[in-house]
Amino acid sequence: MFAVIPAAGLSRRMGRPKLLIDLAGTTVIARLVEALRAADVPNIVVVGRASDEPLWTEVRRLCGVLEVRPHIDPPDMRSSVEHALSAIRDQLQPSDDDGWLLVPADHPVLDANVIRDVIAIWQQHPNRVVIPTHGNERGHPTVLPWSLAQQVSQIPADKGLNWLIRSQPDLVKEWPTSNPAVLLDLDTPEDLERLRQNLGSKQRVGGVVVCGGKSTRMGRPKLSLPFGDEVMLQRVCRILHQIVDPIVVVAAQDQEIPPLPADVHVVRDEYPDQGPLAGIAKGLGALRDRVDAAFVTSCDVPLLKTEFIRSLIERLGTHDAVVPTDGEHDHVLAAVYRVELESLARQLLADQRRRPFFLIQQSDAVRVPTSELLCVDPELDSLRNLNTPDEYEAALARL
């Protein structure tokens, strides 16, 4: 399945680039891309104007999206789609059994469930064009068989994409849905105001730094190791503060803490020697009623990247957690958790199930392959814990 997002419009009615507008903490284009990813659409193609560098900067930050930049700006959606289909044909080797989604970029409230459902209907009718409808109106995304892709270039010059569908009505299968998102696009400032009211306020995200470990392999407390003109814990808190607020540091009962900004709250781990799950529980509890979720990290990642944090937060949506994974290992101390998971974490500790794996397993967690994070953190430094003197020296050398 291939998703085609035409994004070459000039946003004249909006008066500013609408795909970069912030909606509840995420840009319009990012919301759409993340909805497609959450629906397990493996290939996403964005077509835009070659000169629209702000758009491409945002698209690159989203990682893994195929960028199509025609030398001549596409004058309409049909032209954009032709360029996208050509790129898919040349670079992704589709077969006639594949399908492709037409997803206008200005449909920012499409959610993963709608996308999954319309794809599932198409899979039952793979030779048809599936169009969602709401209240007898046709909407998006539309799913088409790849076998129709070559017909796009044969559309008469004075006709648009709709001509292809209208000229073959027997191919169309309408799918009625009660979800109005299939009709809601974003064209004017009035549309934007209505959407913002419906979406509510931006999710509040705080930060938790877990630093109760014994630093056995390092031979001295890692949180106080010098790193530039600050120590490790100070540096991690400073980096976090660029993205999230408030910040809580979870320390062991008798652990010395270096000076921190007055708005960084230090709490003491009430489950000694119980591992990271205890620190996660304590940190989430300290932020309850203050934020919706928290990015949780450790004190020994001085090369933590702000864009890495932002990328995970943007994937949270309505999920309970977002956790990077390399296929074998979940990076539970470089993840986003809803504060409501505190109660589950405490129950797991009471049941002697101390591995954070159980927290991930029993919640609605999204596992993000580390390969999808390389464009925001090419060396995956945000996952690089410093555990030994050699690792510490190597990190210092990169300052």
pLDDT at 200: 55
Q: Are 215 and 170 found together in one domain?
A: no
Q: What is the mean pLDDT of the chain?
A: 90
Same domain for 119 and 233, yes or no, is no
What does the pLDDT read at residue 274?
A: 83
**pLDDT at position 135:** 84
Query: For residue 231, which phi and psi values (nearest 5 degrees)?
Result: -100, 170
60 plus 191 within the same structural domain: yes
User: What is the domain extent for residue 271?
Assistant: 205-396
What percent of the chain is modeled with pLDDT above 70? 98
Residue 94 shares a structural domain with residue 239 = no
Residue 114 is predicted with a pLDDT of: 86
**pLDDT given at position 396:** 94
Are 184 and 211 members of one domain?
no
End-of-domain residue from the set 169, 199, 229: 199
| 211 and 343, same domain (yes or no) | yes
Q: Give the helix/strand (H/E) hosting 180.
A: none
Name the band, by pLDDT with cuts 50, 70 and 90, for residue 128.
very high
Q: Are 222 and 278 contained in the same domain?
A: yes
**231 vs 240, 295, 299, 311, CA distance in Å?**
14, 20, 10, 26
Tell whether 235 and 380 lie within a shared domain: yes
pLDDT confidence of residue 272:
77
CA pair distance 191, 244, nearest whole angstrom = 29
Tens-digit pLDDT profile for residues 298-345: 999 999 999 899 889 888 877 899 999 998 899 999 999 999 999 999
- In this prediction, residue 198 carries a pLDDT of 67
Cα separations (Å) of 363 from 121, 180, 320? 28, 28, 6
According to DSSP, the residues that pair with 130 across neighbouring strands are 143, 173
Same domain? For 111 and 166 the reply is: yes
pLDDT tens-digit map of 40-97: 899 999 999 999 999 999 999 888 899 999 999 999 899 999 999 999 999 999 998 9
Name, of 159-168, 180-189, 223-232, the range with top average pLDDT.
223-232
Residues 210, 161 share a domain = no
Residue 249, classed as helix, strand or coil, is strand
What are the φ/ψ torsions at residue 129 (nearest 5 degrees)? -100, 115
Per-residue pLDDT, averaged over 235-244, amounts to 94
Q: What pLDDT does 202 receive?
A: 60
Kindly state whether residues 225 and 327 are assigned to the same domain: yes
Tell me: do 178 and 270 sit in the same domain.
Answer: no
User: Residue 32: pLDDT above 80?
Assistant: yes
- Which CATH number characterizes residue 353's domain? 3.90.550.10
Last residue of one domain, picked from the residues 199, 221, 250: 199
Q: pLDDT-derived band of residue 112, with 50, 70 and 90 as boundaries? A: confident
Q: Could you report the per-residue pLDDT of 185-215, keeping only the tens digit for each?
A: 888 888 888 777 766 546 789 999 999 777 8
> Which H helix or E strand runs over 359?
helix 356-361
Q: What is the pTM of this model?
A: 0.67
User: Which of 158, 182, 199 is the C-terminal boundary of a domain?
Assistant: 199
Quote the number of domains for the chain: 2
Please tell me the predicted confidence (pLDDT) of residue 154. 86
